[in-house]
Amino acid sequence: MDYHNIINPLQICGFFLTKVASLCLEVLSTVLMKKTLRYLAGVAGPSGYGSNSTAEQVTEASTSWSHFPSQLTAIVTGATSGIGAETARVLAKRGVRIIIPARNLGKAGDVKDKILRESPKAEVIVLEIDLSSFTSIRRFCSEFISLDLPLNILINNAGVFSQKMEFSEEKIEMTFATNYLGHYLLTEMLMEKMIETAAESGIQGRIINVSSVIHSWVNKETFCFSKMLSPRSYNGTRAYSQSKLATILHAKELARQLKARNARVTINAVHPGIVKTGIVRAHKGFITDSIYFLASKLLKTVSQGASTTCYVALSPQVEGVSGKYFADCNETSCSAMANDEREARRLWRHTRLLIHMQLRHQ
């Protein structure tokens, strides 16, 4: 018998699996290519905006907010530079009262002066805060409440990225303490004020957590609450991506709780995009210049980076939308883990317990 002419069933399976895998990779490659081309071209999504839209462009249609009897008030963390400063500038230009919580009051004062030069009638208030410190957050909230102002919008934008392991005054890893825990506590302490404002004004309150696409780099095995508080080994990128995943899970769980309370307050997470910074090319040459040119096309300007935050904060199209994830001014999908409701509830419980234990000792 000629065994070479007999086809082994395993060979058949292997052949088809190879073909299927190849086809899947081809489809995936095509999808990614289409997404990349749409991104580069700035093709508008269902909202009418895309990756090239600026913060000013996406808020031009928000003039419908002007008919409300009271001025909107927004707290914007991390507004001393970058997309936070641009977010504050554009919202102020649209008539929103801006509260800038800042650790560096000098830089915050500079941002305020710049806003007032462009929009002389704007109202900008600077208050001190250190988002890595629970004591400082409580003091800020007390000072803000004492101003007896409404609170319509809370933008949790501030973020740190550290290459070396540092700890907050509560002995918590600094990136996690600032990017996630600080905003969690800030939101919790201001929540009743937002619900009260929404009920009295009839204007839906909006909370925006600024996250990042890098949240998708985290897997379930490494996402451990105790290890994030005090990691045995430190990696700056990992710490940052974990904190950004936590901000989405925070938005998902809080959206569920607000809905259960029938509160007129929504919360969503946004990815601002990768924003242009002072990239310095130390070497010249065709290859280096070509790579820089291609990379620069994938980066956003500061105004483009602030657009999604401003869109979710003011657009009438986002009315009633909560617990979602936005990029390029359109609702989009986040990672499977970021959509895990059980993980979101677990993180919420651990966080609440930790913070209340810390506050009891202060």
Burial state string for 58-90 with b = 16 or more CB within 10 A and e = fewer than 16: bbeebeebeeeeeebbbbbbbbbebbbbbbbbb
Longest dimension (CA), the chain: 94
Nearest to 98 by CA among 117, 79, 70, 82: 79
Q: Which residues contact 73 (CB under 8 A, 6 or more apart)?
A: 96, 97, 99, 149, 150, 151, 152, 153, 197
Give the helix ranges, DSSP H, for 61-133. 82-93, 105-118
In angstroms, how far is the first alpha carbon of the chain from the final one? 85
Vertex 25: Cα angle to 20 and 31 (nearest 5):
125
Active site residue 234: yes
Identify how many contiguous H helices and E strands the chain contains and give both numbers: 13, 8
In angstroms, the Cα distances linking 20 to 8, 23, 28 are 19, 5, 12
Supply the angle between the helices 82-93 and 307-314 in degrees, to the nearest 10. Answer: 40
| C-alpha radius of gyration, the chain, whole number | 23
Token pair listed for 282: 């130390």
Helical (H) or strand (E) element with 330: strand 330-332
Q: Which two tokens stand for residue 156?
A: 């949790």
Residues 156, 207 contacting (CB under 8 angstroms): yes
Considering 234, 292, 311, 325, which one is annotated as catalytic?
234
Catalytic residues: 234
